[in-house]
Amino acid sequence: MSSVIITRSQNKPRRSDRLSGAQTPKRGPTMFVQIESVRRPLKRKRSPSVERKRERENIPLATPSASKGSRVPSFQLPRISQAQKKLLEHETALKQKEKDIKRREADVDKKLETMRQVEFVIDKSESALASVRKELLEFVDLHIIPGAEASLQRLEADFTCPLCLDVMACPYALNAPRCGHTFCGLCLLQWYFSCLHGCGGWHEQVECPICRSPSQIAHGLLPRSIFSCPFIPNRLVGNQIDDSVTKLSAMGALASRAMNITIGGSNKKKRKVSEIEEEKISPIVMDWAENGSSKQDWTKRMERGRTEMAFITSQWVSLTPYDFLDVKKRLGV
């Protein structure tokens, strides 16, 4: 492009000359025209992508002081929505945690209330249990212990084995005409087979260890008669002993249970109370309880004697000398 500049001279003096008061010679009017051609450079067209990039860089960020009518650039809307979304999620999570905490507090309060009720029931039960235990111990002291001691004395006085000096177990008698003594089945077998010789036979008659009445002996001819068996079970005595032992065991078990009923308190206090109460009960009575030492020993002797007697009496007609030697070896005589 080109431009024209026109300059005209004027007849008026300069301002500096007027102020100083100097006079300048007058000149005739002159005029000149100066034409100047100025060439402006052409602008380079920018691509649309560059224009949009510059527009983004020149647009200011939104500030809190911006007017309400100012519009937020469209490219910032996703960022704001994401921040709001995260804030909303965080707030929702906090509310959920608060609900969980309140629910747990309610559960804890409920459990505490249940524990208080259980403690109240336990305290009430312990007081009732202590009362029942006291009554039971009084009943044991007045009736059970005296009855158990009397039953044990009668059992030892009337049904003691003359050989082992203990309560008879599986009582048997010798098949002797003038003998009426009864022994433990195992003790009688040991006495009888102790007279067996190494040949498997008896050379002499076996006598009763108390009255010396002779009993029948086994001869070597087979088959033998069942009436030649020297062992006869005493069922009347056996039934009386079984009843007495059963009652004595029940009394001992009842006394033991009464002592083992525990109430609240420390273990040291419970042990001290139990030791004091055990002194009131005879240890012999306690031995005849279900797990007592005397009851277990009597049960073992009864079972073994019954097993050996059942074998001998059922196989007597066909037992050989070798069978007798095996029985003697099992009996340990």
| Position with higher pLDDT, 202 vs 264 | 202
Least confident of 84-93, 226-235, 265-274: 265-274
pLDDT higher than threshold 90 for residue 233: yes
Q: Are 24 and 17 in contact (CB under 8 A)?
A: yes
pLDDT higher than threshold 70 for residue 153: yes
End-to-end Cα spacing for the chain = 150
Q: Report residue 326's pLDDT band, with 50, 70 and 90 as the boundaries.
A: very high
Is the pTM of the predicted complex or chain greater than 0.75? no
28 SS3 class: coil
Q: Which amino acid is at 89?
A: E
Task: Give the model's pLDDT for residue 65.
Answer: 47
Q: What angle do CA 150, 151, 155 make, to 5 degrees?
A: 120
Least confident of 103-107, 167-171, 261-265, 298-302: 261-265
Mean pLDDT, to the nearest integer, of 120-130?
A: 83
Q: Are 196 and 188 in contact (CB under 8 A)?
A: no
- Report d(CA 313, CA 317) in Å as an integer: 8
Q: Is 36 exposed, middle or buried (0-12, 13-18, 19+ CB in 10 A)?
A: exposed
Q: What is the mean pLDDT of the chain?
A: 77
Bond before 48 cis per omega within 30 degrees: no
Q: Report residue 242's pLDDT band, with 50, 70 and 90 as the boundaries.
A: very high
Q: Which amino acid is at 292?
A: G
Return the DSSP state at 162.
T
With both helix axes pointing from N to C terminus, report the angle between 267-278 and 235-260 in degrees, rounded to the nearest 10: 140
